[in-house]
Amino acid sequence: MPVLATITVASLLFGGSYEKASLLSPASLQPKLRDILDDASPQLQATAIALVDHLEKSVADYNESVVSVLGDYAASAMRTYRSPATMAPGFARLDALRESVFSEVIQVRRQLLKLLGPDKWRALFDG
Amino acid sequence: MSRGQKWTNRPDIRSTSKVGEATPTRRQALSALAAAAVVTLLGCARFPSGNGLDRMVSDLDAALAKAPDDAAPGLIAISHQIQSQARALITSQEGFSTEFDRLSEDPNVSDDTLLRLVATYENERRTKRDNLLDLQDQLHASVSKDLWPDVQEILARKARLISMKSSLRQG
Average pLDDT of B34-54? 46
A15 within 8 A of B45, measured Cβ to Cβ = yes
| pLDDT at B74 > cutoff 70 | yes
pLDDT at A30: 76
Does B98 contact chain A (CB < 8 Å)?
yes
Contact between B122 and A16 using a beta-carbon 8 Å cutoff:
no
- Chain B environment of A77 (Cβ under 8 Å): 152
| pLDDT at A2 > cutoff 70 | no
pLDDT at B11: 34
For A23-47, give one letter per residue: b (16+ CB within 10 A) or e: bbeeebbeebbeebbeebeeeebeb
pLDDT at A1: 32
pLDDT at A40: 86
Angle at the Cα of B53 (from B51 to B58), degrees rounded to 5? 95
Q: Which of B14, B99, B103, B105 to mutate to test the interface with A (most CBs of A within 10 A)?
A: B105
Does A68 contact chain B (CB < 8 Å)?
no
Does A107 contact chain B (CB < 8 Å)?
yes
Tell me the per-residue pLDDT of A13-50, one tens digit each, with 9 for 90 and over. 333 333 333 333 334 677 788 888 888 898 998 998 89
The percent of chain B in helix, strand and coil, each rounded to the nearest 5, is 75, 0, 25
How far is A83 from B145, CA to CA, in rounded Å? 14
Percentage with pLDDT > 90 across chain A: 1
Distance from CA of B10 to the nearest CA of A (A): 11
Tell me the per-residue pLDDT of A60-90, one tens digit each, with 9 for 90 and over. 777 677 667 766 666 666 566 667 677 778 7
Tell me the per-residue pLDDT of B75-99, one tens digit each, with 9 for 90 and over. 778 777 877 776 777 677 778 877 8
The residue of chain B with its CA nearest to that of A24 is: B168
3-class DSSP state of A27: coil
Contact between B166 and A103 using a beta-carbon 8 Å cutoff:
no
pLDDT at B53: 55
Nearest to A48 by CA among A58, A61, A33: A33
Tell me the per-residue pLDDT of B86-142, one tens digit each, with 9 for 90 and over. 677 767 777 887 788 788 888 899 989 989 998 998 888 888 777 877 776 777 777
Distance from CA of A20 to the nearest CA of B (A): 6
Nearest CB among B44, B115, B129 relative to A106 is that of B115
Does B140 contact chain A (CB < 8 Å)?
yes
Rounded to two decimals, the ipTM of the complex is 0.70
**Greater pLDDT, B156 or A66:** A66
The residue of chain B with its CA nearest to that of A102 is: B118
What's the mean pLDDT when you consider all of chain B? Answer: 61
| pLDDT at B168 > cutoff 50 | no
Q: Which of B53, B85, B100 to mutate to test the interface with A (most CBs of A within 10 A)?
A: B100
| B43 confidence band (pLDDT: 50, 70, 90) | very low
What's the mean pLDDT when you consider all of chain A? Answer: 69
How far is B64 from B59, CA to CA, in rounded Å? 8
- Chain B environment of A83 (Cβ under 8 Å): 7-8, 137, 140
Element (H, E) at B123: helix B111-142
| pLDDT at B69 > cutoff 70 | no
